[in-house]
Amino acid sequence: MAKKQKIASLEFARIIAMFAIIGLHCQMALTYWQWDGIPWVGYMLNQLARFAVPLFFLISGYLIQPKLSRAPIETLKNYAKPLMKVWLIWSVISLLMPFQWQTVAEAGYLAERQGYWGYLMSTSFNSLVEGGLVHLWFIPALVIAVALIAFLVHINMAQLVLPTAVLLYIYGVFAGSYSTITDLPAPFFTRNGPFFSTLLVTLGYLAREEQWRWSRNNTIRCILLGMALHFGEAYWLMQHEVAFNSHDFLFGTVIWAVGVFMWLLVHPHFGDMPWVFKLSPSVLGIYVSHLLVIIIMMNVAGFIGLQHLEKDVFIYPATIVATILLVKAIEASPLRKWLLR
């Protein structure tokens, strides 16, 4: 697709969000810079990255809206098939690749893998909607959200999309981060499946369908309100024995992410640089492969004796560089048709 057909700010945001997710999964600053035994720097870095996945969902809903409104079922098929292929193949790779190299050296490949396979089988339904490695949940969640919108649009019940999405999100928060208070049951971890994704994909879809127009000041107010609510909730939930860094989404998260998204639409030329348009098509490949690269880098860091800050300073940039090189190599090889969309 030609550069001029894309919105620069959204492409740039996808890259920034991807770097934030890599930082999140590197689990930085959790063993140092502590106050009263709590690694507040690591906790804040963790939660500051929580705008990223919601932003991916919003952008996805925005970009797919014209086709989804015009031909919902055909669009769903064309959208879901390549994504689920990528999800399945990277799940298989994740199931086969050893994570603990020291264990492999001491006890063998099967001993190391059987521990992980047993862990996945202990929550088999959750693993089915998540995939072979924890970060792959994003793909089935996105597909389920698009499928739900497509179905309701197809049966001329589009007016039910937003209320359904809101109810799913509210239930997901109450049965997720608030579960120690509500005791609500959940069929699986509520970050997965339709609970988190559907509202955000829907809001992105509606932003384009209804041509939402916000002022710059209102987008900033929305970001600040959402962040204040998200971080306030996370801090308050510590009183109920919920770790500050454990939240994938709270009530404030959607407000925060929508504010960022609308700010990007108000500033469409933000990030309009040639390298952005060269790198942004690789974001899905970087997403599906980055956690395996982090695992490799953590093993390397362990072997060379890196700890604490020096370990983080090594792993984060090394993962970014190595993952980009890996994905670019895949894109230039015959493996592209199998490993990427």
pLDDT in tens, 229-273: 999 999 999 999 999 999 999 999 999 999 999 999 999 999 999
User: What is the reported pLDDT for 43?
Assistant: 98
Average pLDDT of span 199-219: 97
Average pLDDT of span 117-138: 96
User: What is the reported pLDDT for 3?
Assistant: 44
User: What is the reported pLDDT for 93?
Assistant: 98
Higher pLDDT, 100 or 5: 100
Q: Does residue 216 carry a pLDDT above 80?
A: yes
Percent of the chain whose pLDDT exceeds 70: 99
pLDDT tens for each residue of 152-162: 999 999 999 99
Residue 321 has which token pair? 């560089």
Average pLDDT of span 327-337: 97
Q: Do residues 289 and 319 lie in contact, with contact meaning Cβ atoms separated by under 8 Å?
A: no
User: What is the reported pLDDT for 2?
Assistant: 40
pLDDT tens for each residue of 15-31: 999 999 999 999 999 99
User: What is the reported pLDDT for 296?
Assistant: 98
Q: Does residue 293 carry a pLDDT above 60?
A: yes
List the alpha helices (DSSP H) in the chain. Answer: 8-25, 40-48, 52-70, 72-96, 101-107, 109-122, 124-130, 138-154, 161-174, 179-182, 194-209, 216-237, 251-266, 274-279, 283-303, 308-331, 336-339
Q: What 3-state DSSP class applies to 35?
A: strand
User: What is the reported pLDDT for 329?
Assistant: 98
From the list 131, 149, 133, the residue with the least C-alpha distance to 57 is 149
How far apart CA 278 and CA 28 sit, in angstroms, is 28
Average pLDDT of span 271-294: 98
Residue 35: phi and psi, rounded to 5, are: -125, 120
5 — pLDDT class (breaks 50, 70, 90): confident
Q: What is the mean pLDDT of the chain?
A: 97
pTM above 0.85, yes or no: yes
Average pLDDT of span 120-144: 97
Residue 156: phi and psi, rounded to 5, are: 60, 40
pLDDT tens for each residue of 51-69: 999 999 999 999 999 999 9
Cβ-in-10-Å burial (0-12, 13-18, 19+) of 8 comes to buried
Q: Does residue 185 carry a pLDDT above 80?
A: yes
Q: Does residue 1 carry a pLDDT above 80?
A: no
